[in-house]
Amino acid sequence: MKKHKVFILTITYIVFLFIITSFLIINANAAVEDIEPDFGFAPEIDGDIEGSKKEWENATKEEIQLISKTSTNPDDKGIFTDIWVMQNQSDLYISIQFELENHAANEFIAIIISEDETESNSSFYDAKIVQWYNLGGPSEEHKYRDFYLINGVFFRDSDDNGDGAADLHGNKMIYEFRIPVNGSEEDDRDVDLEFGDSYAFKIVYGENDNYNDILNEKTSSVLIDIEYPKQEEMPLWKKVVFILAIIAFGAIGGLYGLYIYKVLVIKQKIGRIKE
C-alpha cells in the first residue's frame, strides 16, 4: 500500500515539474501572438473609432505589452496595448490603442514589417509610422510616414504607400493604419504581403522622431496571417434556382434516355419482323 502511494506521489511530482518547466520555457521565449484577421469593411483612417459606425466590428482584438529592451527593471510591465487587426481584399488594417498619464510631445507608433515570419533584425525592412509633433501644444499635428530599413537604419521612402492617423481621447491614444496587401500598391521598398502567408510585425512606441535611437523605444512583435478573400455566399434564391435547374435538366435527361431506349426497342422489334 505504501509503495502504491509513493508511486502516485512520484508520478504527480514529475507531471507537476513538467508543467512548470513548460510554462517557464514558454515565458522565457516570449511566445509571439499569432493573429488571424477577419474580413470587414474598410474603416475611416482618422484615429477616431466610432461605435455607431461599427468600423472595427469584425476586427480580431488582442492585448500586447510594449516593453523596452534596454530596461533593467524586472518590474517594468511596459505599456499595455490593444491591437486590432482586420483586412479586406486590398488592405490590412491595424489599430493600436493605449493609455498613458502623460504622452510625449513627439510620440510615435511605428509598425515595422518583416519579409516573412522571421524576427531577425535583418528581415524587418518596411516601416509605417504615425509621428506626432508638439502633441498637447497649440500647433500639434501628426503625419503618416513610410520608411524602409537597411541594416536596421531608417530611410525615408519616396512613396508613402498606405495610410495612417491618430487622435488623443482623454489619456487614450488611438492609432490607425492601412497597409496594402497582395501588390495593391507595388513598391520595391515595401514588403509585399501575399494572401496565405504569415509575417512578423514589430510594434514600436517612441518619444522622438529619431527612429534610430532605441533608448526611448518600447516594442512587441506579433505574427499576422494574411487571409485569402472569402468567397461570397450564394443567396438563397440562387440556391433554389440552381437546385431547380438541376432537377429540370435531370428530368429532361431521364426523358431523353427513355426516348432513346424506346427507339432501340422498336428497332429491335422491326428487325425481328423482317426476319
Q: Could you tell me the residue range of the domain that residue 16 belongs to?
A: 1-31
Residue 7 has pLDDT above 60, yes or no: no
First to last CA, the chain: 98
243 and 198 share one domain: no
145 and 74 share one domain: yes
pLDDT tens, position by position, 85-129: 999 999 999 999 999 999 999 999 999 999 998 887 778 999 999
| Total of domains in the chain | 3
Asked if 220 and 64 touch (Cβ cutoff 8 Å), the reply is yes
pLDDT tens, position by position, 129-172: 999 999 999 999 999 999 999 988 999 999 899 999 999 999 99
Question: pTM here?
Answer: 0.73
Q: Which segment of 4-13, 56-65, 172-181 scores lowest on mean pLDDT?
A: 4-13
Strands 91-99 and 79-87, by their bridges, are antiparallel
142 and 54 share one domain: yes
120 and 136 share one domain: yes
182 and 46 share one domain: yes
Which residue in the block uniquely carries the three cell numbers 479586406? Answer: 88
| Confidence class for position 233, pLDDT limits 50, 70, 90 | low
Query: Is residue 188 left, alpha or beta, with left meaning phi > 0 and alpha meaning psi from -120 to 50?
Result: alpha
